[in-house]
A and B are shown apart, each in its own frame.
Chain A
């Protein structure tokens, strides 16, 4: 985002976590409430990023390992004659998906709880900030009118 910009900027999805990073704008006259909001959002972003990057990486890795082990069991190589990467069909992959999901269920439950809490908190703070700003604006207008 340009240096003079006064708003937040959101970027393309991160290649590991698929989440879009946000660069938050900290205005010079930022109130304590606004700072709390920004920090909460930054923290949530960081936490989400960590979780999903690690999770997706683990998924890809385990998927590779699974494909490799299955192909070996079938007596095939990772790449066939034409140099194409050998893949398993959907039915064979289904075992892996089932396994992966059940292994990670607890992790997801924990993350869900975390995410919901963060999401509510951030939205609530947003509401507070918006309210404060609206009141400020109204007060300013009243002052201008007088």
Chain B
């Protein structure tokens, strides 16, 4: 049974015990008890150390508990006061070993381990974080071994699965808006291909940015930063998502979509990611990256780059600016320290102007949609309130330039886009021109005749 395997009692004699605990509750209980027993019998020394033990015991055993650390034997010396402490602690610890005669065999080993314990105990005490099992686990040493149980979660975080889901939904919006009859298999293939391409791009992005991500609060819990997965595995995962994804798009849908997908991956990983640290132009490149998925959706459906595709791309392009500029406003310190060239840091005025400009552009683009026969005239009318609202928030952001207005704008952008796309879809111009907009959702699926609209 995996419980006994994970507990490994005979081997875990020295000091604090590592238990490769699995996530399941039933297996935690026996391990916890054994742990407690050993903790109690170790009646250890300094209050700090005992405190540290207590904290470890209290830590949720959801992830693998692993503490004991050999003091660093290799040449890497952390630049803090460790070295002096180590000497002191060594003296203290050597006195301790005779106290616990029962565990004589491991006391020599444990002496070295205690060193680390006390140092980390000292550290954790300094940093006084009473709550949050996560932060406690953060302060522990973890074995860099891949656990298959954790793999799905790790890969999900590596591929930024939530962002990928949003990207796929914009691509499906593009597909749905295309003036052709709806083909389910094509739709699914396009969505899957886009999703895989997005996973690949996100993984490579994280692969490139490990030290920078470690230094920023928003990103410091990413899998590569935490060592939960090796860079090699991240690259292999990216390849195993990207290549089938693009192949699926090229062969299963059409070459144009595949090319766009490949181009987007390239743009994101090789242009946007390095550019982030070189110039503020990265935001514009990033906006293009965001605009391509709906274009891909459209080309997946129609097979050609029509004006409609470009309009949809344009809407998403413009949307990126209020979204990102508002987000980046609150992260200025992290960006500055991390070395990221963002408008919010270097050209704050430009940042806000651009955000506002593009909010207004959204209104304009919505008005162009009926001209291109993508939607009926009701679309600009219905979407006007939400576009005006986001423009208003954009204006407030422009004028006030403070954290609250940036947050408002950011959160508004989060619901604004899905709503806009939804309204657009319901106002979609039917393939059979005579039909009115009410029927569209059903109409576009059932229509046999396809009149390709310009």
Contact = CB atoms under 8 A, between A and B. Distances in A.
Interface of A: 1-5, 7-24, 42, 45-46, 48-49, 52-53, 55-56, 59, 90-91, 93-94, 96-98, 100-102, 104-105, 107-109, 111-112, 115-116, 119, 122-123, 126-127, 130
A94 B332 contact: yes
Nearest to A50: B79
B14 interface: yes
B97 interface: no
Given A13-B138, A101-B341, A119-B207, A4 B231 contact: no
Nearest first, the 3 closest Cβ-Cβ pairs linking A and B are A10-B227, A97-B336, A108-B339
A15 B74 contact: no
Given A94-B332, A94-B345, A7 B144 contact: yes
Most B Cβ at <10 Å: residue of A17, A22, A101 = A101
Given A2-B70, A11-B141, 17 more contacts: A9-B66, A11-B140, A15-B123, A21-B78, A46-B76, A52-B211, A94-B345, A97-B332, A97-B335, A98-B346, A101-B340, A104-B339, A107-B339, A119-B207, A123-B207, A123-B232, A126-B230
A23 to B, nearest CB: 6
B143 A5 contact: yes
Nearest to B230: A126
A100 B336 contact: yes
Contacts of B445: none
Contact of A7 (B109, B143, B225): B143
B154 interface: no
B313 to A, nearest CB: 30
B220 A93 contact: no
B70 A19 contact: no
B215 A52 contact: yes
A126 B73 CA distance: 23
Given A19-B211, A23-B70, A130-B232, A45 B143 contact: no
23 contacts: A1-B66, A2-B113, A7-B145, A8-B144, A10-B144, A11-B142, A15-B80, A16-B80, A20-B225, A24-B74, A42-B76, A46-B76, A53-B79, A56-B337, A59-B336, A97-B333, A98-B345, A98-B346, A98-B348, A101-B339, A101-B345, A105-B339, A112-B274
A122 B232 CA distance: 9
Contacts of B363: none
B8 to A, nearest CB: 11
A3 B70 contact: yes
Contact of B220 (A10, A18, A23, A56): A18
Nearest to A112: B277
A104 to B, nearest CB: 6
A13 B14 CA distance: 25
A123 B204 CA distance: 12
A118 B208 CA distance: 11
A101 B346 contact: yes
Contact of B144 (A9, A101, A111, A116): A9
Contacts of B144: 7-10, 22
Contact of A2 (B18, B79, B340): B18
B277 A18 contact: no
Query: What range describes how many residues of B lie at the interface?
Result: 35 or more
Contacts of A122: 231
A108 B332 contact: no
A31 to B, nearest CB: 17
A43 B326 CA distance: 38
B232 A49 contact: no
Interface string B214-239: 11000010000111001110010000
Nearest to B73: A23
A67 to B, nearest CB: 12
A13 B220 contact: yes
Given A12-B139, A97-B333, A97-B336, A20 B226 contact: yes
Interface in B64-88: 66, 68-70, 72-76, 78-80
B79 A18 contact: no
B337 A94 contact: no
B341 A105 contact: yes
B213 to A, nearest CB: 10
B232 A127 contact: yes
A91 B401 contact: yes
Given A52-B215, A115-B211, A10 B226 contact: yes
Contacts of A123: 207, 231-232, 235
Interface string B372-412: 00000000000000000000000000000111000000000
A56 B215 contact: yes
A7 to B, nearest CB: 5
Most A Cβ at <10 Å: residue of B69, B138, B401 = B69
Nearest to B346: A98
A93 to B, nearest CB: 7
Contacts of B333: 93, 97
B441 interface: no
A70 to B, nearest CB: 15
A91 B14 CA distance: 53
